[in-house]
């Protein structure tokens, strides 16, 4: 107790010395030199940032999220509905079908405009929808697998619904011969006859459209970049060509609501097909896009969808690469992929595939059609002609397990 009292008293009697010592130690550990810097009379003012003014943060009111039924109710008063897609995403195509089915159920007289078919083949699209040719003949006549090549099963439910319900399908796109030549020589390089096939009015004055395409062009590897103006010409032909075809159809069929299915890049921000259609036919329209992996920019679309990813069932494959330029009968095998069922069955490079199952093979489309519903691990009968340098060619048959 006496020691405690002594300490207390000592601390009290030397408080000034102790306080000075504490300040000195604090200055020492702070790196300051005693007596080296004058103490400022006042501390600098702290400026609080203005966080609200010009704040770029976007806010999505979760209470405004809705469902497809309400979306379709809203779309019902539009004359044109653009539904953009990622070409290889099945969920995008199922939502396109949902919108078409919903509008049809509400009594709308519809037509479906499709980027995937080219204008010179309209008669064969009509023949399929009207039930005058079957699916296989439709794919051959429209040259689908040569001109588009994405898995036809992605679009099959839409086209079957159109056929079942008698909904016209409009081939929107210009033929690839025109756009390919424009890519090589520019629009100015087209012949007089070719010029007659493209829109007479082409708007090059949209600076935002040009800037967006320039950004896309710059994303290509340097080895794939050639001439931006040629790249722009092709895009303009696609967008103006589809817009003109759609506008003409609307003018000829004022009772129809047109649902346009195309890649998102042709409709986002209204700069591709929509603005060029409006120039020709100023009608009420809406743009619908998949909102995943992008900012919900209201300038890009009127509505964003957030679907669950859905994949097509895997397709059965022979595991071969084909020489599509070969002029002989059948399709010549140019090589095999790893794990090829065809190679394991005994087929060889140079063999000409002439039959798969009951399907005779004359070209690439025939192979795609023959395997359209084939599944992995299933076996198919494959007949080939094996050429020999000496002696007659040999016909051989194999059972190939698809990979």
- What pLDDT sits at residue 18? 39
Count the Cβ atoms, other than its own, within 10 Å of residue 363: 16
CA 45 remoteness from chain centre:
53
Place of tokens 């020489």: 323
- What pLDDT sits at residue 199? 97
- What pLDDT sits at residue 11? 40
Question: Torsion over CA of 141, 325, 368 and 359, rounded to 10 degrees?
Answer: 80
- What pLDDT sits at residue 351? 97
Helix (H, G, I), strand (E, B) or coil at 85: strand
Q: Residue 230 in contact with residue 82, Cβ under 8 Å?
A: no
For the chain, which ranges sit under pLDDT 50?
1-35
3-state secondary structure the chain: CHHHHHHHHHHHHCHHHHHHHHHHHHHHHHCCCCCCCCCCCCCCCCCCCCCCCCCCCCCCCHHHCCCHHHHHHHHCCCCEEEEEECCCCHHHHHHHHHHHHHHHHCCCCEEEEEEEEEHHHHHHHHHHHCCCCCHHHHHHHCCHHHHCCCCHHHCHHHHHHHHHHCCCEEEEECCHHHHHHHHHHCHHHCCHHHHCCCCCCCCCCCHHHHHHHHHHHHCCCHHHCCCHHHHHHHHHHHHHHHHHHHHHHHHHCCCCEEEEEEEHHHCHHHCCHHHHHHHHCCCCEEEEEECCCCCCCCCCCCEEECCCCCCCCCCCCCCEEEECCCCCCCEEEEEECCCCHHHHHCCCCCCEEEEECCEECCCHHHHHHHCCCCCCCCEEEEEEEECCCCCCCEEEEEEEECC
* pTM score of the predicted model: 0.84
Q: Residue 111 in contact with residue 258, Cβ under 8 Å?
A: yes
Beta bridge partners of 401: 379
Place of tokens 């990813």: 309
Q: Which CATH superfamily is domain 320-401 in?
A: PDZ domain (2.30.42.10)
Classify 65-305 by CATH class: alpha beta
Distance CA 259, CA 261 (A): 7
């Amino acid at each position: 107790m006496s020691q405690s009292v002594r300490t207390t008293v000592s601390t009290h009697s030397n408080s000034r010395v102790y306080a000075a010592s504490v300040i000195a130690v604090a200055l020492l550990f702070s790196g300051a030199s005693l007596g080296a810097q004058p103490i400022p009379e006042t501390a600098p003012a702290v400026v609080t940032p203005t966080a609200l003014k010009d704040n770029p943060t976007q806010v999505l009111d979760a209470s405004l999220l809705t469902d497809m039924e309400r979306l379709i109710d809203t779309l019902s008063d539009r004359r044109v509905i653009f539904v953009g897609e990622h070409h290889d995403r099945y969920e995008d195509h199922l939502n396109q079908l949902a919108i078409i089915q919903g509008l049809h159920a509400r009594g709308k007289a519809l037509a479906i405009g499709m980027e995937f078919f080219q204008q010179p083949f309209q008669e064969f699209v009509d023949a399929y929808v009207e039930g005058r040719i079957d699916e296989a003949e439709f794919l051959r006549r429209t040259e689908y697998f040569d001109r588009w090549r994405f898995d036809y099963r992605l679009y099959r439910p839409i086209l079957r619904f159109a056929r079942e319900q008698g909904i016209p399908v409009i081939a929107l796109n210009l033929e690839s011969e025109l756009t390919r030549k424009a890519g090589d020589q520019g629009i100015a390089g087209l012949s007089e006859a070719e010029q007659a096939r493209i829109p007479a009015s082409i708007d090059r004055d949209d600076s935002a459209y040009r800037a967006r395409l320039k950004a896309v062009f710059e994303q290509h590897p340097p080895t794939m970049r050639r001439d931006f103006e040629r790249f722009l010409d092709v895009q303009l032909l696609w967008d103006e060509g589809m817009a003109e075809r759609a506008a003409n159809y609307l003018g000829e069929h004022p009772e129809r609501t047109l649902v346009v299915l195309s890649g998102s890049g042709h409709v986002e921000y209204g700069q591709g097909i929509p603005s060029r259609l409006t120039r020709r036919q100023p009608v009420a329209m809406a743009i619908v896009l998949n909102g995943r992996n992008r900012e919900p920019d209201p300038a890009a679309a009127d509505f964003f969808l957030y679907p669950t990813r859905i994949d097509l069932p895997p397709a059965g494959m022979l595991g071969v690469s084909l020489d599509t330029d070969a002029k002989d009968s059948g399709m010549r095998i140019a090589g095999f992929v790893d794990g090829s069922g065809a190679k394991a069955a005994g087929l060889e490079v140079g063999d000409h595939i002439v039959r798969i199952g009951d399907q005779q093979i004359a070209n690439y489309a025939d192979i795609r059609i023959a395997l359209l519903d084939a599944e992995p691990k299933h076996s198919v009968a494959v007949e080939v002609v094996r050429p020999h340098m000496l002696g007659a060619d040999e016909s051989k048959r194999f059972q190939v397990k698809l990979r």
